[in-house]
Amino acid sequence: MAALGREHRHLTPLVAMGGRLHKLDQELAETRELFRSDDPGMADEARAEEALLNAGIEELEQQIKPALIPHDPLDDRPAIVEIRGGTGGDEAAIFAADLFRMYIRFAEGRRWRVEMISQSDGALGGVKEAIFKVKGEGVFGAMRWESGVHRVQRVPVTESQGRIHTSAATVAVLPEAEEIDLKIEDKDLRIDVFRSSGPGGQSVNTTDSAVRITHIPSGIVVSQQDQKSQLQNKLKAMEVLRARLLDARLAEQETARARMRKTQVGTGDRSAKIRTYNFPQNRVTDHRINFSMHELTKVLDGQIDPLIEALKVADIEERLGE
């Protein structure tokens, strides 16, 4: 019922546009009947009306084309976002923290719910790794474009000579996997427990509550220690593992399809440099579509809607051309 409800919600606007197009076509046919009128003034008015109707029909057809592309049901799912500092040491961890804050602000602006899964802090307020889930309408459909390598160019707080450094952080956005998406056999898992490290409270660092799960066929390893009990950590780790396995399967499908495409939009290539944040020039550039904004402060404050919309449009244009 939920799936049918989502499909109905996505088809309703398309049906409405189809109804308006049918009505305009009827009006156009009736208007052209007036061309043969004995009244020259009425015939002239009909020709002027024809031009307006043709313009309206053309505009409506342009709106209908992208709506005809089949909706990806994954777009409605929650997203699991993983951010990790890459090359650049402490500065990379600081940049990862900036991205973490950017996505939290973006989610808050859309009234989405954020649920932390795990976080490993670095020096100087940086983040070595942050994993969190975002819930809300159309979350994965919007966030999926953020997967890849994000690069920053600026003078780090760790730099005493004022030189501009380049650092990077990786972002992976995974659709939340449901039980029916894939079956994970118990025999394919190796589960290890160990004592949590880092800041902790009562029972966190005094018992073997941390969990490490290895999926033997794929080699994917997930560790979780932020929850209070071993069971909670295991449940969270399995949630991340399912998402990573589903993402790996989707990435293979997208990569095969992308061989015929011109850009890296939506290909699932996690190693691709997708965006540069250039502080000296106050510029953010998305390299997949060569789109730039000179509002870096706003972007890092969570206002990434123009970037996401530009990527969506580019993807629609490519898919219409396939």
48-99 tens-digit pLDDT: 888 899 988 988 887 787 777 777 878 889 999 999 998 778 889 999 999 9
> What local confidence, expressed as pLDDT, does residue 315 receive?
85
**Worst-scoring range by mean pLDDT, 47-61, 284-298, 308-322?**
308-322
pLDDT band at 271; cut points 50, 70, 90: low
Which stretch, 54-68, 235-249, 263-277, has highest mean pLDDT?
A: 235-249
244-254 tens-digit pLDDT: 888 888 877 76
Greater confidence, 165 or 257? 165
**Worst-scoring range by mean pLDDT, 5-9, 168-172, 229-233, 310-314?**
5-9
- The vertex-189 CA angle with 203 and 253, nearest 5°, equals 120
pLDDT band at 206; cut points 50, 70, 90: low
Percent of the chain at pLDDT exceeding 90:
38
What is the chain's Cα-based Rg? 25
- Residues ≥6 apart with Cβ < 8 Å to 310: 286, 289, 291
Mean pLDDT of 293-316: 92
pLDDT at 101 over 80: yes
158-194 tens-digit pLDDT: 776 778 888 999 999 999 887 667 888 889 999 988 8
What is the helix (H) or strand (E) element at residue 211, kind and residue range?
strand 210-215
Eight-class DSSP state of 77:
S
pLDDT band at 263; cut points 50, 70, 90: very low
For the domain spanning 196-252, the CATH number is 3.30.160.20
Beta bridge partners of 224: 211
pLDDT at 38 over 60: yes
Greater confidence, 159 or 294? 294
> What local confidence, expressed as pLDDT, does residue 123 receive?
80
Phi, psi of 83, rounded to the nearest 5 degrees: -120, 130
Q: What is the DSSP string of 133-183?
A: EEESTTHHHHHGGG-EEEEEEE--TT-SS---EEEEEEEEEEEPPPTTT--
**Worst-scoring range by mean pLDDT, 129-133, 186-190, 203-207?**
203-207
> What local confidence, expressed as pLDDT, does residue 160 receive?
67
Q: Tell me the pLDDT of the chain averaged across its residues.
A: 84
> What local confidence, expressed as pLDDT, does residue 202 receive?
46
- Give residue 213's Cα distance to chain centre: 26
> What local confidence, expressed as pLDDT, does residue 261 receive?
46
Whole-model pTM: value is: 0.72
pLDDT at 281 over 60: yes
> What local confidence, expressed as pLDDT, does residue 164 receive?
86
For the domain spanning 73-180+260-321, the CATH number is 3.30.70.1660
Q: Where are the domains of the chain?
A: 2-67, 73-180+260-321, 196-252
> What local confidence, expressed as pLDDT, does residue 88 receive?
74
> What local confidence, expressed as pLDDT, does residue 286 receive?
95
> What local confidence, expressed as pLDDT, does residue 203 receive?
46
